[in-house]
């Protein structure tokens, strides 16, 4: 009997809606529906001709973020007609297996505390390394060379995988291991939380600030019951505290806009 022909795995030439692989005009945004990644999405939309988004389901208890990301995607295109023409596909990657290994306060019902390593219990070991590696594999298939993530070293919460040094080491490893030329862009890396609000205003005016308040979600507890000036959330988890503190500083400074 003749053997069945080998079926090739889907590669760039087999993908529909492919982006021109020779261009640096496209980007893939790691997009959780939180404040930081929503600002990163606006930043990418103001810069790249085509922007795709990727989200990760790792069993996190703020599954409400997963809904927020769809609302933000839907509404952000209403702010700017150019952005609307640039926003492309959304991708969802199932990482519940990783979540099962990396059980922490983010994925399990544990208190927010500082562990004996001096790290917050919300730290999922290597989370950004895993996210970026999956995102790079997806970007390779989509013909995208720019990855955009909201990692930030300034309001450093003790997350070693948010450091620019870590990101640069991973970028190098990905480029060596995938024979690629990726660039990992981290537009929030050196901004304070107040400056992130200012950047939102610089990118999309008060309309984007309002969208981020209303529709992005940051609270670790997944609460959306109470609407504060800075958005929804429990108000006392580490994520809410950081978001509220940045908001208050930004408002006290007169709601400045930061040029992107
Ligand atoms: Zn909260």
Q: Report how far ligand 1's centroid is from the alpha carbon of 230 (Å).
A: 12
Distance 47 CA to ligand 1 centre (A): 31
Residue 218 CA, ligand 1 centroid: distance in Å = 7
Distance 143 CA to ligand 1 centre (A): 37
pLDDT for 195 equals 97
What's the CA gap between 164 and 25, in Å, rounded?
Answer: 23
CA of 175 to the centre of ligand 1 (A): 37
Report CA(197)–ligand 1 centroid distance (Å): 18
The CA 3 to ligand 1 mean position distance, Å, reads 58
In the reported structure, the alpha carbon of residue 132 is separated from the centroid of ligand 1 by a whole-number distance in angstroms of 25
Q: How far is the CA of 130 from the centre of ligand 1 (A)?
A: 25
Distance 249 CA to ligand 1 centre (A): 18
For ligand 1, the distance from its centroid to the CA atom of residue 68, given in whole angstroms, is 15
Kindly give the parts of the chain with pLDDT less than 50. 1-22
Compute, in angstroms, the gap from residue 217 CA to the centroid of ligand 1. 9
Q: What is the pLDDT of residue 25?
A: 93
Residue 12 CA to ligand 1 center (angstroms) comes to 41
How close is the Cα of 212 to the center of ligand 1, in Å? Answer: 15
Ligand 1 centroid, distance to 219 Cα (angstroms) = 4
Task: Report pLDDT for 63.
Answer: 72
DSSP 207-236: HHHHHHHHH----TT---SSEETTEES-SS
pLDDT at residue 222, as a whole number: 86
Residue 187 Cα to chain centre, angstroms:
11
For the chain, domains (ranges, CATH) are: 25-252 (3.40.50.620)
Instruction: Give the model's pLDDT for residue 168.
Output: 97
Instruction: Output the pLDDT for position 98.
Output: 83
Task: Give residues whose Cβ lies within 5 Å of ion ligand 1.
Answer: 219, 221, 233-234, 237, 240
C-alpha 111 to ligand 1 mean position (Å): 12
Q: How many CA atoms lie within 13 A of 152 on its CB side?
A: 20
Q: How many CB atoms lie within 10 A of CB 58?
A: 20
Residue for token pair 């958005």: 231
Of the candidates 220, 232, 245, 248, the residue with the CA atom closest to the CA atom of residue 120 = 220
- What are the helix (H) ranges across the chain? 35-45, 64-76, 81-86, 96-101, 127-142, 164-177, 193-215, 238-252
According to the model, what pLDDT value does residue 174 have?
98
Write down the pLDDT at residue 4. Answer: 44
Tell how far the Cα of 110 is from the centroid of ligand 1, in angstroms.
Answer: 14
């Amino acid at each position: 009997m003749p053997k069945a022909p080998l079926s090739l795995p889907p590669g760039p030439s087999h993908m529909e809606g492919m982006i021109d692989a020779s261009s640096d005009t496209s980007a893939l945004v790691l997009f959780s529906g939180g404040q930081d990644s929503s600002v990163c999405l606006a930043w990418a939309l103001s810069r790249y001709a085509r922007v795709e988004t990727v989200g990760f389901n790792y069993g996190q208890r703020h599954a409400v973020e997963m809904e927020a990301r769809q609302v933000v995607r839907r509404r952000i295109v209403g702010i700017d007609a150019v952005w609307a023409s640039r926003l492309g596909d959304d991708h969802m990657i199932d990482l519940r297996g990783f979540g099962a290994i990396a059980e922490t306060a983010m994925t399990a019902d544990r208190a927010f505390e500082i562990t004996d390593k001096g790290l917050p219990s919300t730290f999922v070991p290597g989370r950004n390394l895993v996210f970026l590696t999956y995102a790079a594999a997806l970007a390779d298939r989509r013909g995208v060379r720019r990855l955009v993530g909201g990692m930030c070293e300034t309001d450093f919460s003790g997350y070693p995988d948010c450091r620019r040094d870590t990101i640069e080491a991973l970028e190098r490893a990905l480029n060596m291991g995938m024979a690629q030329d990726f660039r990992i862009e981290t537009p929030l890396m050196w901004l304070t939380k107040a400056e992130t609000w200012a950047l939102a205003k610089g990118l999309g005016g008060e309309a984007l600030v309002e969208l981020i308040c209303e529709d992005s979600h940051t609270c670790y507890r997944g609460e959306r019951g109470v609407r504060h000036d800075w958005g929804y959330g429990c108000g006392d988890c580490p994520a809410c505290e950081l978001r509220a503190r940045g908001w208050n500083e930004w408002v006290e400074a007169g709601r400045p806009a930061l040029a992107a």
